[in-house]
Amino acid sequence: MLAIGVVLAGCFVTAADMPFNGTFETPVGKPAGWESRVWGGGGRATYEQAGRNGSWCVVIGSAEGGDVSWYAFVPVQAYSRYRASAWIKTDNVSPSSGKGALINLHEFPGAQSGPLTGTNDWTQVSFEFDSGKRETVQLCCLFGGWGNATGKAWYDDVAIEYLGPSEVHPVADIDTTKTGAPISKYIYGQFIEHLGHCIYGGIWAEVLDDRKFFYPAGAPESPWKAPSGGVDMIKEAAFVGEHSPQIAGGHTLLQSGLGLIKGKRYEGRIILSGSGTVRVTLAWGDAPGDRAEVTIEGLTSEFKTFPLVFKSGASTDEARIEIAAAETIRVGTLSLMPEDNVNGMRRDTLGLLKKLNAPIYRWPGGNFVSGYNWKDGIGERDKRPPRKNPAWKGVEHNDFGIHEFMLFCEELNTEPYIAVNSGLGDVQLAKEEVEYVNGGEDTPMGRLRASNGHPAPWHCVYWSVGNEMYGSWQLGNVPLDQYQQRHNEFAKAMRAADSSIKLIGVGDSGSPWSAGMLANCADHMDLLSEHFYCGAKPGLLEHVAQIPENVRRKAETHRKYLKEIPALQGKTIPIALDEWNYWYGPDIFGEIGTRYFVKDGLGIAAGIHEYTRQSDVIFMANYAQTVNVIGAIKADKTAAAFETTGLVLMLYRNHYGETPVAVTGDLAGLDVAAAWNKERSALTVGVVNPLGQDVSLKLNVTGATLSNRARVWRIAGPEPMAHNDPKTPDVIELVQDKATAIDEGVKLPKWSVNLFEIPVK
Q: pLDDT for 212-233, tens place per residue?
A: 999 999 999 999 999 999 999 9
Query: Does the pLDDT value for residue 15 go beyond 50?
Result: no
Q: What is the mean pLDDT of the chain?
A: 96
- Read off the pLDDT of each residue in 284-298 and give the average, rounded to a whole number: 97
**Domain residue limits, the chain:** 6-165, 185-203+345-655, 224-338
pLDDT band at 53 (very low <50, low <70, confident <90, very high): confident
- Give yes or no for a contact between 70 and 140, defined as CB atoms under 8 angstroms apart: yes
Instruction: Identify the band that residue 1 occupies on the pLDDT scale cut at 50, 70 and 90.
Output: very low
| pLDDT on residue 20 | 76
Strands 224-225 and 80-95: unpaired
Q: What value does the mean pLDDT take over residues 365-371?
A: 98
Looking at the predicted structure, is the pLDDT value of residue 17 above 50? no
Q: CB–CB of 580/531 below 8 Å?
A: yes
* Per-residue confidence band for 308, with pLDDT thresholds at 50, 70 and 90: very high
Q: Tell me the pLDDT tens digit for each residue of 75-88.
A: 999 999 999 999 99
- Report yes or no: 731 and 656 within 8 Å, Cβ to Cβ: no
What CATH number does the domain located at 224-338 have?
2.60.120.260
The fourth-level CATH superfamily of domain 6-165 is Galactose-binding domain-like (2.60.120.260)
Residue 30 has a pLDDT of: 85
pTM for this model (two decimals):
0.93
Residues 6+ apart with CB under 8 A from 679: none
Q: What confidence category does residue 386 fall into, taking pLDDT thresholds of 50, 70 and 90?
A: very high
- In this model, does residue 8 exceed pLDDT 60? no
Instruction: State the Cα–Cα distance between residues 240 and 236, nearest whole angstrom.
Output: 11
Let me know: does 533 contact 582? Beta carbons within 8 Å: yes
- Of 615, 423, 563, 416, the residue nearest 502 (C-alpha): 416
CB 511 within 8 A of CB 532: no
Which pLDDT score is estimated for 744? 86
At the second CATH level, the architecture of 185-203+345-655 is: Alpha-Beta Barrel (3.20)
The confidence score (pLDDT) of residue 451 equals 98
CB 442 within 8 A of CB 436: no
On whether the CB atoms of residues 104 and 113 are closer than 8 A, the answer is: yes
Average confidence (pLDDT) over 323-330: 98
Q: Do domains 185-203+345-655 and 224-338 have the same CATH topology?
A: no
Give the model confidence (pLDDT) of 125-147 as tens digits: 999 999 999 999 999 999 999 99
Res 7 pLDDT > 60: no
CA 157 to CA 136: how far, in whole Å?
A: 19
- pLDDT of res. 58: 97
Digit-coded pLDDT (tens) for 493-544: 999 999 999 999 999 998 999 999 999 999 999 999 999 999 999 999 999 9
Distance CA(512)–CA(723), nearest Å, equals 39
The DSSP result for 564-591, as a single string, is H-GGGTT----EEEEEEEE--S--SSST
CA distance 76 to 161: 10
Nearest Cα neighbor of 77 from 139, 135, 7 is 135
Count of helix runs (H) and strand runs (E) in the chain: 9, 41
pLDDT of residue 510: 85
Q: SS3 for 600?
A: helix
CB-CB neighbours of 731 under 10 Å: 14
Is residue 5 over pLDDT 70?
no
Q: What's the pLDDT score for residue 366?
A: 97
Alpha-carbon distance values, 105 to 71, 130, 218, 290 (Å)? 9, 11, 62, 66
CB 161 within 8 A of CB 26: no
Half-sphere exposure of 519 (CA within 13 A, CB side): 12
